[in-house]
Amino acid sequence: QQQQPPTTDKLRASRKHSQYTNTNTHILLKMGKVHGSLARAGKVKGQTPKVEAQDDKKKMPRGRAKKRLQYNRRYVNVVTGLGGKRVGPNSNADKTA
């Protein structure tokens, strides 16, 4: 089957539609602005005071080594307080006496 040529009504409708979509949109669209000017680039970093780097702490063990450390703290080197009660890890009981 061959396609029939469009009738005049269809041609008018397609022209009317294309009139608003193709030509005018190019005129109406405007390009967006870039955020800030390049003259102010690095402003915040430049005005922040320099702080000396802190000394590196020894890293905590991970995995099997961490479990080993926990076991030794909790069960092997048990610290007892008054009355033979076990002392918590954040207790200062031994320092007050």
pLDDT in tens, 44-97: 999 999 999 888 889 999 999 999 999 998 889 887 777 888 888 788 765 665
For 60, the token pair is: 């905590």
Answering whether pTM is above 0.85, one says no
Residues whose CB is less than 8 angstroms from the CB of residue 14 and which lie 6 or more positions away in sequence, other chains included: 6
CB atoms within 10 A of CB 28: 6
pLDDT band of 37, cuts 50, 70, 90: confident
Residue with the bigger pLDDT between 70 and 23: it is 70
Q: What is the pLDDT of residue 66?
A: 97
CA proximity to 94, closest of 71, 70, 76, 77: 77
Which whole-number Å values give the CA distances from 60 to 12, 48, 70, 74, 95, in the listed order?
78, 31, 12, 17, 25
Q: What is the pLDDT of residue 9?
A: 65
